[in-house]
Structure 1
Amino acid sequence: MDQIIDIATDGRHLSRDRGFLKVSEDGQEIGRTPLNQIAGVIVHAHGTTWSTSLLCELAGRGAPVVLCSSNHAPKSVLLPIEGHHAQGARMRAQWQAKTPMIKQAWKQIVTAKVLMQAAALAAIGEPPASLRMMARKITSGDSTNIEAQAARHYWPRMMGPDFRRDAAGTEANALLNYGYTVLRAATARAVVAAGLHPTIGLFHSNRGNAFALADDLMEPFRPLVDSAVRTISKARGATVDSEAKQSLARLIAIDLPLGDGLTPVSVALMKLATSLGQSFEAGKLTLALPAPPDSLTFAGLGQ
């Protein structure tokens, strides 16, 4: 099962020891994890050091290394240069994709996100009808910005009437930052593994954003993080401690309905990125987007 490794204590050294990531402190080993189980490494601590051989090994396996600021927002992501045997052709197809296809892809992604938000609200006893109605009104490229309208309806009901989403904020906002960082790392890994370029987004296009496509593709999965943060905040308080991090890191293993069965989030992200790459090459859009999980699954997030 894919795992997210979080380094939050100062002074740790990370290295490769045969097939393992080894964590040491003052020359003494304190833990190790098989490299083939690692979906990503997130580093928050000061004074962390690592060996070049470890970074090369992680890159070869497509596992990103994410460096975070004090509010748990990602500042840098280390990813491999090569991620797929047909990477060159697929990136050219990505760059040359026609605007109508890109707009239709964004419509489908926003629709999936709003329906996931609706399911998340339904799981906590909030009426989902308004969001489901909004989802039916989403147009190509979301030209009427239903995504923003849905967010204004969604956040007060999910997190409380006084909540304001602020990436520079503390408490619940910091928890959301951490959960989104986990999700962004898993999505960036999926994008590169599918032979796509993470900078070339569908909607996100900030010139300074090197992971625009990852930010696009993770959108339908964000309400999973939101639900988990709500549960954590109510049960234990909005502190980004080790228990909260473990709960949020486990989200990539949650099963979602996809196709005829259930698929873990990390695999669903892989399938979504791969389907987008195949769509670019074929010139016909076929996205593998998950459906929302049941209410019991939402209720268990964050525990």
Structure 2
Amino acid sequence: MERIVDIATDGRHLSAHRGFLVVAEDRVEVGRVPLDDIAAVIVHAHGVTWSTNLVVALAERGAILLLCGSNHAPVAVCLPLDGHHAQNGRMRAQWEAGRPLSKQLWRRLVVAKIRWQGAALAAAGKNHEPFNLLARRVGSGDPDNVEAQAARRYWPLLMGEDFRRDRGADGTNALLNYGYTILRSLCARAVVAAGLHPSIGVHHANRGNAFALADDVIEPFRPLVDLLALRLLAAGTATVTPGAKRAFARLIALDLPGESGTTTLTNAVTRLCQTLAGAFQSGRATDLWIPAPPSALELAGLDSLLVEP
């Protein structure tokens, strides 16, 4: 399984040498990881340096380098230019996609997100029944903003009445930020690998957002991060500790239900992006594949991510 490499210690230098990412401090090697095993390198520490040959080696393998702010939210990313042999045609179809298609694609993503939120609540033993009704109310482009209505119910049920989602806050919010960073890097990589451009979204369209399409794709999978954060809190982890980082990094290998049997989160995101590229080219939103929400039994697999190997 591809690996997420997190660099959280100041004073480290990253370089590529004979097929390895080499981490050094004061010119002394402290660790190495095969480049072919890496999905993303996430840098949190602000005293880290790296070599150009490392960034090139990562890009050649389709891996990304992602830089985070002090709140564990991503602020910059280095993505490969060449993601897929049919990249030109797919990007052109993505750019030329009409509003009706984009609105239908966004509807499917929002419906999936709300259903996955219901699945997370069910796994946490909370009332999830209203979320099936909310999912059925989502129209093309979600004109009634059912997504926000679901969020207003979801967070108090999952995290408690006093919880407020705030990207700049510490504690639970910092855990969520870090988990979303892992998931966002996975989605950005899958988008590029599918020959699509991550800044051209179907719904997210902020002029300064280089992750617009990745932020569309991530939506159905966010509840996995939410539920894992809840499990960490229940286990006594209320901040972004090394153990919490390892748990979120292992999330990419979580087993999920697939049409042909069990698959991993990485494979599910990859397939979603590949079918999204196909939907842009065919003009049919129904070509977009999104995995069904996992059952409470399947989501119990999150507990294994908290256990140190």
User: Which secondary structure state, in structure 1, belongs to the residue aligned with residue 4 of structure 2?
Assistant: strand
CA contact (8 A) 2:254 2:301 kept: no
**Contact 2:91–2:196 (8 Å) recurs in 1:** yes
Deviation per residue, 1:161-185 (Å, 9 max, x gap): 1000001111000000000000000
Alignment match, 2:31: 31
What SS does structure 2 have at the residue aligned with 1:141? Answer: coil
CA contact (8 A) 1:116 1:223 kept: yes
Residue in structure 2 matched with residue 226 of structure 1 by the alignment: 226
With the length of structure 2 as denominator, give the TM-score of the two structures: 0.96
Correspondences of 1:59-78 after superposition (within 5 Å): 59-78=59-78
- Distance of 1:289 and 1:261 partners within structure 2: 15
Distance in 1, Cα, partners of 2:197 & 2:21: 27
Q: Secondary structure at the match of 2:141?
A: helix
CA contact (8 A) 1:255 1:293 kept: no
Q: Distance in 2 between matches of 1:122 and 1:201?
A: 30
* Greater Cα offset, 285-294 or 137-146: 285-294
Distance 2:227 2:143 in 1: 28
> How far apart, in 2, do the equivalents of 1:150 and 1:253 lie?
28
Whole-Å separation in 1 of the counterparts to 2:288 and 2:258: 11
Contact kept, 8 Å, 1:40 with 1:185, in 2: the verdict is yes
User: Residue in 2 aligned with 1:295?
Assistant: 296
Q: CA deviation at 1:120?
A: 0.4
Taking the aligned partners of 2:297 and 2:162, their CA distance within structure 1 comes to 27
Q: TM-score, with normalisation over the residues of structure 1?
A: 0.98
Q: Report how many residues are paired.
A: 303
Give the equivalent residue in structure 2 for 1:150. 150
Structure 2 counterpart of 1:278: 278
Deviations 1:41-89 (A, max 9, x none): 1100121111111100101111111100111010101101111111111
d(CA) in 2 for partners of 1:119 and 1:32?
38
Shift of 1:28: 1.4
**CA displacement at 1:294 relative to structure 2:** 2.4
Structure 1 counterpart of 2:249: 249
2:281 and 2:137 mapped to 1: Cα distance?
A: 29
Report the Cα distance in structure 1 between the residues aligned to 2:289 and 2:258, rounded to whole angstroms: 7
Find the residue that maps to 1:142 and give its secondary structure.
coil
- 1:284 shift after superposition: 2.0
Corresponding residue for 1:128? 128
Contact 1:5–1:38 (8 Å) recurs in 2: yes
The amino acid of 2:295's aligned partner reads D
Q: Distance in 2 between matches of 1:269 and 1:190?
A: 7
Aligned residue number for residue 9 of structure 1: 9
Q: Following TM superposition, by how much is the alpha carbon of 1:296 offset from its aligned partner in structure 2, in angstroms?
A: 3.0
4+ long deviations beyond 3 Å: none
Segments of structure 2 that go 5 or more residues without pairing to the other structure are: none
Q: Are the aligned partners of 1:258 and 1:289 in contact in 2 as well (CA < 8 Å)?
A: no
1:141, 1:36 → 2: CA distance? 39
Greater shift after overlay, 176-185 or 19-28? 19-28
- Retained in 2: the 8 A contact 1:71–1:170? yes
Q: Is the 8 A contact 1:198 1:212 kept in 2?
A: yes
Q: 1:182 maps to which residue?
A: 182
Once the two structures are superposed, the pairs formed by residues 157-196 of structure 1 within 5 Å of their partners are 157-196=157-196
* Long gaps (5+) in structure 1: none
Question: Deviation at 1:278?
Answer: 1.1
The one-letter amino acid of 2:272's match is: L
SS at match of 2:256: strand
Equivalent residues of 1:44, 1:67 under 8 A apart:
yes
Identity %: 58
Cα distance in 1 for partners of 2:47, 2:124 equals 41
